[in-house]
Structure formats: C-alpha cells, structure tokens
C-alpha cells in the first residue's frame, strides 16, 4: 500500500514529533511517500527545492497513493489544497484532529462527507483511528 501523509510545514511545525510518530505507525501498512513531513530537520521554511518541484512531486505522490492520511490540527493552506486534490482523485481520506482547548476543526473538513474525520486526545487514540481506517 502507498500512503500519502500530510501535515503542516509552513503553517507551523509544533506537531513535528506527532507527525513522526504517526508516520512510523503508518509504515507497518506500507510505503509512506511523504515521510519527510515527520523529520525534525524540516522547519517552517520548507525544503531546499523550488515551489514548482515540491508541487509537482506532491501532486504525483497523491495520484500514486492508495490512501491519504492527514493531521489537520495545525491549519495549513497547502494541506487544504492536498485534501481537495485527494478528494478530486477519489482517494480514501482520513483526517486526524487533536482536541485541544481553543482549537476548532475547519468546517470545510468537518462538513465534508467524502472525508473520514477522527478526533483524538492521545496519540494512542490517533493510531487506533489509523488502524480502524486502514483495516476497512
């Protein structure tokens, strides 16, 4: 199975450790095409590639992916764009949202019937949601 994982880069890197843990969990199910999202060395300035290179590569990875798993707790324009593209390509999509005081899930994600959304409070709840989603 090929998995595309998305999480915020330029929108903020506060969840990097969580991304790393989720990506490592996903690896038991197949190849995570975008595993660099979990690297601590990747900061909010992004990669050392042009915008065009990143765009072309990521679009190709989304096309290639069997499923798309997205951590949406930190808002990101790029992640929203990737979600919409995945939806247009009829990909199976799971969005994970960490419930924290003062944080609200976007209506555009929460209201979309084509996206499976799972709220969680602990990393274990998030990985359990991944297991449930990928075993369907």
CA distance 51 to 88: 22
Edge-to-edge, what's the strand order for the sheet holding 92-98?
Answer: 31-32, 2-6, 67-71, 92-98, 116-120
Average pLDDT of the residues of the chain:
90
Predicted local confidence at residue 45, as pLDDT: 59
**Would you place residue 34 in the very low, low, confident or very high pLDDT band (cuts 50, 70, 90)?**
confident
Domain 2-134 is found in CATH 3.50.50.60: no
- What pTM was estimated for this model as a whole? 0.91
CA distance 100 to 131: 22
Number of residues in the chain: 136
Bridge partner residues of 32 (DSSP): 3
């Amino acid at each position: 199975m090929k998995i595309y994982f998305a999480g915020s880069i330029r929108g903020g890197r506060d969840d990097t450790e969580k991304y790393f843990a989720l990506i490592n969990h996903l690896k038991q199910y197949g190849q995570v095409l975008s595993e660099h999202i979990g690297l601590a060395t990747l900061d909010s300035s992004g990669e050392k590639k042009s915008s065009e290179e990143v765009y072309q590569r990521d679009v190709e990875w989304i096309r290639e992916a069997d499923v798309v798993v997205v951590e949406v707790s930190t808002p990101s324009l790029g992640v929203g764009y990737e979600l919409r593209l995945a939806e247009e390509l009829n990909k199976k999509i799971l969005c994970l949202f960490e419930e924290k005081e003062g944080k609200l899930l976007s209506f555009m994600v929460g209201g979309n019937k084509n996206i499976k959304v799972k709220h969680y409070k602990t990393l274990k709840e998030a990985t359990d949601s991944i297991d449930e989603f990928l075993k369907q």
